[in-house]
Each structure stands twice: as structure tokens, then as C-alpha cells.
Amino acid sequence: MSTNLQSKMVPSQNIWLPSNLLPNQKILVSLTGPHGTDIIGCVLDCMAKNSCEIEDFMLSRLYHNVTFGVLITLKSDNSDLFRDLAEAAQKWDGILSFNIHEQQDILPKSLEDAPYKNRTKYTATVLNQNGLTLQFLDEWTKLLLREKISVEKMQRLSEGKLSCADYKLSVPLETDFDRLRQELFQLSISHGTDVALQPFNVFRKHKRLVVFDMDSTLIQQEVIDEIAKMAGVVNKTITEAAMNGEIDFKESLRRRVSLLKGTSTDVLQAIKKNLIFTEGAHLLCKALKKIGFKLAVISGGFIPLAMYVKNELGLDYAFANQLKVSSDGLTFTGELDGPIVDGERKAELLEVIAQAENIKLEQVVAVGDGANDLFMLAKAGLGIAFNAKPRVQEKVYKFNELL
């Protein structure tokens, strides 16, 4: 049992003072007001003055209002504590509340003993470039309630309009994550809002390597289609079917490359001039390099263009397929040279880069859009489906429009 009081307390008036306070009594104190450090300072000053022991604390801010909460243990009867807190609340125009737990109430001393037992930590990031709608937020909250998922913390990540927010979640261990992913996917599709769910652990914010797909990710085109256009052998249907996972990637690539037999190798120089980088790609890569990330492009396209993208964006690694050329080097033979960089090969190369850089897979981010990126996205600590095909969206913890 506990007693809860909340008011805008004025010391000159009569103030309710609890009786029979005992040493080791636990009290949850909260002060809300239009100040920040001042509120923290005045509360801590009261605690020190009355010889309290602090067990936990938190601070949250919404515009100009700050709430500072402290869980304390009394070391004596501390009857002056509440009057001191009331005076502090008046001084800083704050609202004071406190919750006094009876002696028989046992507060947990560790998360494992709290309402977090048999639960695990996740973080969910929700993103809509046009702003998070009330309809989405309502359905999102109802989904969490149905799944008995507790929200421990919410944080706005965007400036200007409310377009991105981070939720720290406490999720029951028995949660069916395959079903939950399906529900999140349907919620995302119906509201045009992305939901990225990932384990909340030390690796989440300590990523060190980002691996990108190239076509329709770092650049806006599919290079095989661009080559085919210039060669006059367009077969876009094969590309779309392969990227949607409807036909085997290796088979589709061989078919498309065979159409290039006799095409001049000069076509690659022309394509380089016409490549359109995805908006924000240069800025993102520059920012990531500045804070120490290793960057790579692993493409199911072709190495001359992957190397061009690598140099343009300042990446560290580039892997892609090699087109075989004639003995005089003037035309393509319609064949590939070396192993095909398909989905499984992409995942292998991601792991090779991580090992070479001594980076754990949990510290790797992979970004891609097609079915042949699924293995790579699954291998990384965080897989981001960027403007992805439907099959990819269903499989990945994702942002769909991150760059």
C-alpha cells in the first residue's frame, strides 16, 4: 500500500505531513516545473539536507517543462523533508508529488525483480517523413497493449514536425516475434509509416560498419538496365522479377548478361556520367566516415560501376560482379568472370569485411532493397530495407526511407 499526494504546495498554508515515518522508508518524489538544472539542484539539496539515500532518479523534458523524479530511502524520520520540498516547489513554481510506500511494500532493487521479470528489452523507432499521424499513434499504442508490451521511455528524434520517435520497450519473453513482425508490417503499410524493432543492447548504438547495396539504394538506377538500354536490348521484366524474388538471381543475371554480347565496353563510361545518386547519399557517407565508420558497397551489379560509386562516396570497400570482355578489351562476351555476387555471396562478403576490420556482426548495419539482399540484411546486427520490394519489407526490421 502507498500514499500519493500531488499539489502546487505553498508553505505558508497548512501542509499535510505524514506521520510515523520510519528509517529505511522508501519515497518516490517528483517535481515538475519550467526549469531544468534549477529543479534538479533544489531537489538534491533537500535530499542532502535531510540525509536521504538516493536509489534511482530520472529526468524528462517536454518543451520548457521538466520533470525530475527521485526514489529515496529515509535515514531518519525526516519530517522536515516535505516542508523543504514544498518550499523548493514554490520557489521554482513547480508541482510536487510524492508516493510514500508502507514498510510492507517491497520495491525491487534490480530490474530482474521488477515488473521486468521474464521480459526482454527492445527499441522501436517509428518514422514518417510527412509526420506521425494520430491515427498511426493510436493503432501503434493499441498494438503494444494487445501484446502486453510496456513502454519504458519515449523520445522524439526529429526537429520541426513530429516525424520520428524512439520507444524503449519491455517485451514479454513468450512474444511470438514472427507474428509481431507481420503485425508491424501491416501497420506500416496501412499508415505509410516505418517501424524498426531491434534488441536494446550495447551493440545497438555502437555500430562500426555499414554495408550498402548499390542499385536502387546508393544510386537510383539498376545498372544492368542502363547498360541494356544503351545496347538496345532492354528486358526490364527480368530485373523486376529477380529483385522481387520471383526467379533465381543467378539465372536472371546470366540471362541479362548474355544479352550484352558484342556491346562496346565504352558503354560503362557513358553510364558513369548518367548515374544519379540517391538524395542524401553523399551527406550520409561523409557523416558516417567523420565519426569513424567503415563503409562498403556490395552489389549484384558490376565492379567498374561499384568502384566508381566507392570513389565518389569515399567508401572503403567495393564488391560486385565482373563482366568478361573480349581478348582485345573492346566488347563484352555476354559472360561473367568469377563467382556471382548473389544474396548468399553478399552475406559472405559482409562477414569477410567485418572479420578483416575486427568488427562484430552485431556492430554491422546492412542497407538494401531487393530479394538478393535478404541474406545480408539478416546477417547484420541491423538490416535496413531501403525503399524495399514487398518481400524484403516483410522479412526485415526496417526503415524504408532512411537516407
Q: Does residue 266 have an active-site annotation?
A: no
Catalytic residue among 56, 80, 105, 213: 213
- Residue 247 in contact with residue 257, Cβ under 8 Å? no
CA distances to 165, 227, 231, 239, 275 from 221, in Å: 31, 11, 16, 11, 7
Each as own residue / partner, the long-range contacts of residues 61-68 (CB below 8 Å, 24 or more positions apart, any chain) are: 61/36, 64/34, 65/32, 65/33, 65/34, 66/32, 66/33, 66/34, 66/35, 66/36, 66/39, 67/30, 67/31, 67/32, 68/30, 68/31, 68/32, 68/39, 68/40, 68/43
Residue carrying the nine cell digits 545480408: 376
Catalytic residue among 84, 215, 342, 369: 215
Q: Does residue 80 have an active-site annotation?
A: no
CA distances to 69, 214, 389 from 220, in Å: 49, 9, 14
Cα–Cα distance measured from residue 93 to residue 33, given in angstroms and rounded to the nearest whole number: 6
Q: Phi then psi for 214, rounded to 5 degrees?
A: -105, -65
> Residues with Cβ < 8 Å from 294, sequence gap 6 or more?
208, 209, 210, 316, 317, 353, 357, 359
Cα–Cα distance measured from residue 288 to residue 281, given in angstroms and rounded to the nearest whole number: 11
| Catalytic positions | 213, 215
